[in-house]
Amino acid sequence: AQTVTQSQPEMSVQEAETVTLSCTYDTSESNYYLFWYKQPPSRQMILVIRQEAYKQQNATENRFSVNFQKAAKSFSLKISDSQLGDTAMYFCAFAHMNRDDKIIFGKGTRLHILP
Amino acid sequence: DGGITQSPKYLFRKEGQNVTLSCEQNLNHDAMYWYRQDPGQGLRLIYYSQIVNDFQKGDIAEGYSVSREKKESFPLTVTSAQKNPTAFYLCASSLFSAGYSNQPQHFGDGTRLSIL
């Protein structure tokens, strides 16, 4: 069965610092999607970034970037120049490509940005 | 603007009572999902539906029921058989199923259900 593991339940960093959130996953497939979602205190889930497994280039979205290591089955999220508004729960997620299947979420990392 | 609307935002259930959570989307998405969120548990899938009049159980379907009579609507009923229903419930949708989709899931604002 596919699993998504986020090994850091909670993290805190100072504003303007860079922080990296870890995510590993387990699958025997070679084609899939990986996602990072953000859930701020308002509770609405928001997509932060997405990576297709067949793409070698790491996805980037403004201050958010990923380090996708396919062989290691690792998908970490880097937040540069962190802001107070980045305080949220962050969920890593996995979905097979071209399969009739559902997204699998990790348990989340709670990130606190300190002023 | 397209999106997902969940109602109510807060809901209280009495012992032995069934309650229904509403989820409506105007994104023309095929697939819809219900998740339960508990502290420290992340998101757990309750039910999902890829097309109208069809749905599948997720990881924690016991004590819940759903229907998908319209593409836009995917209501979740929390039955009296669900002994620990207090949680935050999130509805989501995506174009086709998650694996086929080039669009990631969109989420509603959630419903918080509590026991009286």
Contact yes or no for A101 and B90 at CB 8 A:
no
- On chain A, the residues whose CB falls within 8 A of the CB of B107 are 44-46
The pLDDT profile of chain B, 116 residues, written as one tens digit per residue, is 679 999 999 999 888 899 999 999 999 988 899 999 998 777 898 998 988 999 999 989 999 999 999 999 999 999 988 889 999 999 999 876 555 554 557 899 999 999 88
Query: B59 at the A interface (CB within 8 A)?
Result: no
Partnered with residue A109 across adjacent β-strands are A90
pLDDT bin (cut points 50, 70, 90) of residue A100 is low
Q: Is A66 left (phi over 0), alpha (psi -120 to 50) or beta?
A: beta
Å from B10 to nearest chain A CA? 13
- How far is the first Cα of chain A from the last one, in angstroms, to the nearest whole number? 41
Residue A43 backbone phi and psi in degrees, to 5: 80, -10
pLDDT tops 70 at residue A57: yes
Do B99 and A44 make contact, defined as CB atoms within 8 angstroms?
Answer: no
- Of the candidates A43, A96, A101, which has its C-beta nearest B109's C-beta? A43
Q: Is B39 on the interface with A (CB under 8 A)?
A: no
Nearest CA in chain A to B49: A102
Chain A contact for B49, CB < 8 A?
A: no
Going along chain A, which residue ranges are E strands? 3-5, 10-14, 19-21, 24-26, 32-39, 46-52, 60-61, 64-69, 74-79, 88-96, 104-105, 109-114
CA distances from A51 to A21, A65, B13, B63 (A): 15, 10, 40, 35
Q: Enumerate the β-bridge partners of residue B68.
A: none
